């Protein structure tokens, strides 16, 4: 079965921005994928091409891909790389490339009759990731709120995915109650996390109260994590918070202190995107997941450098950072072969596209980072609930850090 037709159309994302959707056709089958968009993007990410180039890109991509077998994902992805001709997809755009790549995988899955997680992950893909839920947010996702971009929760005590997501929704609700009780006005940021004019310290305290409440009511243990998105704080010399400026050494000490004080299970981007040494120093100093997002950008060259230097122990996987499913898979493979955990992640600008739910299962991710509430986040979380329902006796992944 070959790709018979490929079209792009412009649709909208959760921030109301225009984005591209790719739809591919073969026989009576069709499948589509939509590009998400970041706000705190890594410098080395695949380039996002303006949607106004849609006709030109469609002409190039469809001419190249029509006729290729829907089951030859590597050929499809290498062809996308070839017609682009650059490392970072600056020609056809990573957004146009990833949507074609994922749409073809979804088409192949539809034709094969296997759900995408099974088509990609095989019959032994039977473990579900824990949801890493964003409950309080600031930084580039909600200016005027906290300096740390994301305060995250992981319901490690839940025995199944449904209960895990349920626990995260309880924490999210309790945080609102806690803020109301303290007279703090809050609204929602880009990812559905609560945004408020509070200090980072206050955010930790509020979340602690909320997860204690959930434990008392349900017996489920919930741990905390953060995405500092430190590149956004770095001014070239220091990390600039609303209430302090820290040197690299002070930043590392601060991260270690937070990890101790709040028993953090997860710290993402604690240092700026080019500080491989700082990442390595912190990874040695703490006993939790230290995850690289902007530093690795799902790119095997940068992940390889991190592995050699001992930077981080976890890799954030965002398919649109690298531009094809094949390169995403290579990033996952390299990370895992070297003992790194992986976390499959949404972007702050999202849509109803649920593909990453399947990727998280196919790739046996430890966590899926995709918010807690909001239609575009719930699309992925509910898909995981469906996957759990449809699987015969799935289990949750074992988190080696607990």
Ligand X SMILES: C=C(OP(=O)(O)O)C(=O)O
Contact set with ligand X (CB under 6 A): 38-41, 227, 229, 293, 345, 347-348
| Span interacting with Mg ion, options 84-92, 165-173, 223-231, 307-315, rule CB under 5 A | 223-231
Q: How far apart, in Å, are the Cα atoms of 84 and each of 61, 78, 125, 166?
A: 9, 10, 33, 43
Q: Which of 49, 106, 318, 380 is catalytic?
A: 318
Cβ proximity to ligand X: between 101 and 345 the closer is: 345
CB 152 within 8 A of CB 204: no
Supply the minimum distance, in Å, between the C-beta of residue 297 and ligand X: 10
Supply the minimum distance, in Å, between the C-beta of residue 42 and Mg ion: 9
Cβ proximity to ligand X: between 211 and 229 the closer is: 229
The HSE-up count of residue 390 (CA atoms within 13 Å, CB side) is 14
If we measure between CA atoms, which residue out of 28, 76, 15, 91 comes closest to residue 349?
A: 15
How large is the greatest C-alpha to C-alpha distance in the chain, in angstroms?
A: 62
Asked if residue 149 belongs to a known ligand binding site, the reply is yes
User: Is 191 annotated as catalytic?
Assistant: yes
State which residue has the least CB distance to Mg ion: 293
User: Is 176 annotated as catalytic?
Assistant: no
Q: How far apart, in Å, are the Cα atoms of 374 and each of 32, 135, 191, 247, 371?
A: 21, 12, 7, 36, 8
The HSE-up count of residue 309 (CA atoms within 13 Å, CB side) is 20
If we measure between CA atoms, which residue out of 136, 170, 128 comes closest to residue 152?
A: 136
Cβ proximity to ligand X: between 36 and 155 the closer is: 36
288 DSSP 8-state letter:
S
Cβ proximity to ligand X: between 38 and 323 the closer is: 38
Residue 302 interacts with which of ligand X, Mg ion, none, CB < 5 to 8 Å by class: none
Supply the minimum distance, in Å, between the C-beta of residue 76 and ligand X: 25
Supply the minimum distance, in Å, between the C-beta of residue 250 and Mg ion: 21
Distance between CA 134 and CA 192 in Å, rounded?
A: 8
Residue 41 interacts with which of ligand X, Mg ion, none, CB < 5 to 8 Å by class: ligand X
Supply the minimum distance, in Å, between the C-beta of residue 138 and Mg ion: 13
Residue 161: helix, strand or coil by DSSP?
Answer: helix
Which one among 23, 293, 350, 354 touches Mg ion, defined by CB under 5 A?
A: 293
Cβ proximity to ligand X: between 167 and 317 the closer is: 317
Asked if residue 345 belongs to a known ligand binding site, the reply is yes
DSSP secondary structure of 238-269 = SEE-SS-EE-HHHHHHHHHHHHHHTT-SEEE-
Supply the minimum distance, in Å, between the C-beta of residue 377 and ligand X: 11
State which residue has the least CB distance to ligand X: 38
Asked if residue 173 belongs to a known ligand binding site, the reply is no
The HSE-up count of residue 34 (CA atoms within 13 Å, CB side) is 21
Distance between CA 224 and CA 289 in Å, rounded?
A: 11
CB 46 within 8 A of CB 98: yes
| Span interacting with Mg ion, options 22-30, 159-167, 293-301, 373-381, rule CB under 5 A | 293-301
Cβ proximity to ligand X: between 64 and 367 the closer is: 367
Asked if residue 268 belongs to a known ligand binding site, the reply is yes
Cβ proximity to Mg ion: between 293 and 353 the closer is: 293
Residue 55: helix, strand or coil by DSSP?
Answer: helix
Residue 38 interacts with which of Mg ion, ligand X, none, CB < 5 to 8 Å by class: ligand X
Which one among 227, 275, 327, 341 touches Mg ion, defined by CB under 5 A?
A: 227
Asked if residue 293 belongs to a known ligand binding site, the reply is yes
In terms of C-beta density within 10 A (0-12 exposed, 13-18 middle, 19 or more buried), how is residue 239 classed? Answer: buried
Residue 353 interacts with which of Mg ion, ligand X, none, CB < 5 to 8 Å by class: none
Asked if residue 227 belongs to a known ligand binding site, the reply is yes
Supply the minimum distance, in Å, between the C-beta of residue 401 and ligand X: 19
What φ, ψ does residue 20 adopt, rounded to 5°? -105, 145
Residue 93 interacts with which of Mg ion, ligand X, none, CB < 5 to 8 Å by class: none
User: Residue 59, Cβ neighbours under 10 Å: how many?
Assistant: 10
CB 26 within 8 A of CB 1: yes
Distance between CA 209 and CA 181 in Å, rounded?
A: 12
Q: Which of 45, 178, 191, 281 is catalytic?
A: 191
Binding residues: 141, 149-150, 227, 268, 293, 318, 345-348, 369
Active site residues: 191, 318
**Chain positions contacting Mg ion, by CB under 5 A:** 227, 293
Query: Which residues line the annotated binding site for substrate?
Result: 141, 150, 268, 293, 345-348, 369
């Amino acid at each position: 079965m070959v790709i018979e037709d490929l079209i792009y159309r412009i649709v909208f994302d959760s921030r109301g921005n225009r984005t591209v959707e790719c739809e591919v056709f073969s026989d009576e089958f069709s499948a589509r994928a939509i590009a998400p968009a970041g706000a705190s993007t890594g410098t080395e990410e695949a380039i996002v091409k303006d949607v106004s180039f849609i006709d030109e890109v469609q002409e190039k991509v469809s001419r190249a891909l029509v006729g290729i077998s829907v089951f030859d994902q590597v050929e499809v992805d290498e062809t996308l790389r070839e017609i682009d001709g650059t490392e970072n997809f600056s020609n056809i755009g990573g957004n146009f490339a990833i949507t074609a790549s994922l749409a073809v995988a979804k088409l192949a899955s539809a034709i094969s009759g296997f759900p995408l997680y099974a088509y990609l992950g095989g019959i032994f893909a039977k473990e579900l990731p824990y949801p890493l839920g964003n409950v309080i947010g600031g930084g580039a996702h909600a200016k005027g709120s906290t300096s740390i971009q994301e305060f995250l929760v992981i319901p490690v005590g839940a025995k199944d995915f449904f209960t895990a997501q349920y626990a995260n929704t309880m924490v999210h609700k309790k945080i609102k109650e806690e803020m109301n009780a303290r007279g703090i006005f809050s609204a929602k940021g880009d990812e559905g996390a609560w945004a408020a004019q509070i200090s980072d310290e206050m955010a930790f305290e509020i979340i602690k109260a909320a997860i204690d409440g959930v434990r008392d009511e349900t017996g489920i243990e919930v741990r905390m994590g953060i995405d500092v998105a430190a590149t956004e704080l770095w001014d070239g010399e220091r990390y600039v918070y609303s209430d302090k400026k820290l040197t690299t050494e002070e930043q590392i000490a601060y991260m270690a202190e937070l990890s101790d004080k709040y028993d953090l299970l997860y710290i993402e981007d604690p240092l700026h995107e080019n500080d491989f040494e700082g990442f390595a120093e912190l990874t040695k100093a703490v006993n939790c997941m230290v995850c690289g997002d902007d530093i690795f950008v799902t790119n095997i060259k940068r992940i390889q450098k991190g592995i050699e230097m001992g930077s981080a122990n976890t890799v954030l996987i965002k398919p649109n950072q690298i531009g094809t499913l094949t390169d995403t898979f290579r990033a996952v493979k390299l990370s895992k072969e070297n003992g790194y955990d992986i976390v499959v992640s949404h972007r702050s600008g999202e849509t109803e596209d649920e593909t990453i739910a399947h990727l998280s299962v196919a790739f046996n991710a430890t966590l899926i980072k995709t918010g807690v509430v909001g239609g575009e986040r719930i699309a992925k979380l509910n898909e995981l609930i469906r996957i759990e329902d449809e699987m015969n006796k799935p289990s949750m992944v074992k988190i080696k850090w607990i």
